[in-house]
Amino acid sequence: MLKGKHIILGISGGIAAYKSVFLLRLLVKEGAEVQVVITPNGKEFITPVTLSSLSQNPVICDFFTANTGEWHSHVSLGLWADLMVVAPATASTMAKMATGVADNMLVTTYLSAKEHVMAAPAMDLDMWAHPSTQRNIEQLRRDGVEIIMPGSGELASGLSGKGRMAEPEEIVRRIKEYFSRSRDMEGMKVMITAGPTCERMDPVRYIGNYSSGKMGFALAEECAARGAEVILVAGPVSLATENPAIRRVDVESAVEMCEAAEKAFADADVAIFAAAVADYRPAETAETKIKRENADEMTVRMVRNPDIAARCGMAKRAHQTTVGFALETDNERLNAAHKLEKKNLDMVVMNSLRDNGAGFRTDTNRITIFGRGGSVTEYPLKSKREVARDIVDAMLLQRRGADATADLSDN
Ligand code: CTP
């Protein structure tokens, strides 16, 4: 399954480095081409001779090879790789990765890596629990690094607790999982709405909301990374897209968003409505700035905006899948299930404003997914990029289920 895949194995200085030998062995056995990059401290734990014998490649540690003066290019290494796995990732290496301290080949290569990066932390339990480590892990997650969580058990210090590097078999399983999902949206067209809408009152004022657009943008990156062609219809946000497979259409109001979304939807296989669309807009937009009157109150008459998700839901054809969001403050489950029906969605992703770390302006989210067939799946608090992965996985599963049902009825 890993045949021909180019993998950089980054090894930093922890006792768990001995497990990396097994990891390397398994990767090579699976047909991967592995380039080991080790930190100077890593070399204290495991000899490069063992690693180069197994990988059939010289091990890179320094920027230069001392006797030949050869320079190791982290840039070409970064371009060569399909994946970088840092295992073990010590507290110190993660801190450097999180802050960009590129004082060794491993971190320098990480900063040049264009493809996906995974890190398998390994350390003693107190180091693991320290707020500084947790902060760095959070930052790495935000930067898109997939963390392969350590297990609990006996540690090299003799203590027992969390911090033990995931077993090599588990890391290989995650690597295979990554490659199997990596292009599983190839050929699909996805339309995503994201961010708030701004409803103009006059040339200087609007009615808006707190949506940052982070969830919708994370979904766009996830779909594009998995091979989909993405049209991202974005309300006013201060975010940038990274993947060139994302075509972005910037809009301001709900009416503009509706027009762009419906146009893109006609040609889409999947639509994800992650935008916080204003339900109403001012009935009149003043041409000139509204002046303060000599009155204590002001009334703005509002009219209904189009419901983009519902309109696309109405127009939906058999091969199209629609996913909506529900941000609720109370009666969460009932409201989410109701939305599924009302907007003819295939899936509703619910987040509750009652949860800490979920909702607007956060980098994390805690979701529950309601599927068409009545399925309800709850997920723990995760970074928005990881949440995006879960949503896409669930959506593809739902599509495969629908395809399977269609296949059955065809027979
Ligand atoms: N949505 C939309 N267009 C609108 C309003 C909402 O596309 N005009 C989409 C959102 O992007 C989201 C879902 O519909 O995916 C749920 O939005 P929400 O505002 O919670 O639903 P409403 O139907 O407006 O219900 P309520 O106001 O009762 O919560």
For residue 165, what pLDDT is reported?
96
Domain architecture of the chain: domains with CATH: 6-180 (3.40.50.1950), 189-285+298-410 (3.40.50.10300)
pTM above 0.85, yes or no: no
Give the alpha-carbon dihedral of 111, 113, 114, 118, to 10 degrees. Answer: -100
pLDDT mean over 227-240: 96
Residue with tokens 């699976």: 30
Q: Which of 232, 251, 307 to mutate to test the pocket of ligand 1 (most atoms within 8 A of CB)?
A: 307
**The ligand 1 atom nearest the CA atom of 261:** 7
pLDDT confidence of 196, banded at 50, 70, 90? very high
Residue nearest atom 28 in ligand 1 by C-alpha distance = 335
Q: Which of 41, 209, 335, 344 is catalytic?
A: 209
Q: Is the pLDDT of residue 73 over 70?
A: yes
For residues 274 and 325, is the Cβ–Cβ distance under 8 A? yes
For residues 166 and 248, is the Cβ–Cβ distance under 8 A? no
Question: Considering only CA atoms, which of 159, 62, 151 is closest in space to residue 103?
Answer: 62
Give the alpha-carbon dihedral of 147, 152, 154, 157, to 10 degrees. Answer: 50
Residue percentage of the chain with pLDDT more than 70: 94
Q: Is the pLDDT of residue 407 over 70?
A: no
Residue that wins the pLDDT comparison between 249 and 242: 249
**298: CA distance to ligand 1 center in Å?**
27
CA-CA distance, 302 to 315, in Å (whole number)?
A: 27
Average pLDDT, the chain: 91
User: Quick check: is 209 catalytic?
Assistant: yes
For residue 144, what pLDDT is reported?
85
Q: Which of 256, 257, 305, 339 to mutate to test the pocket of ligand 1 (most atoms within 8 A of CB)?
A: 339
For residue 154, what pLDDT is reported?
83
DSSP codes, 243-306: -TTEEEEE--SHHHHHHHHHHHHTT-SEEEE--B--SEEES---SSPPPPPS-S-----EEEPP
Both ends of the chain: CA-CA distance in Å? Answer: 32
CA-CA distance, 87 to 149, in Å (whole number)?
A: 11
Among 22-31, 124-133, 260-269, 284-293, the range scoring the smallest mean pLDDT is 284-293
pLDDT of 81-115, one tens digit each?
999 999 999 999 999 999 999 999 999 999 999 88
Q: Is the pLDDT of residue 65 over 90?
A: no
Among 26-30, 142-146, 300-304, the range scoring the smallest mean pLDDT is 142-146
Residue that wins the pLDDT comparison between 362 and 221: 221
Is the beta carbon of 262 within 6 A of some atom in ligand 1?
no
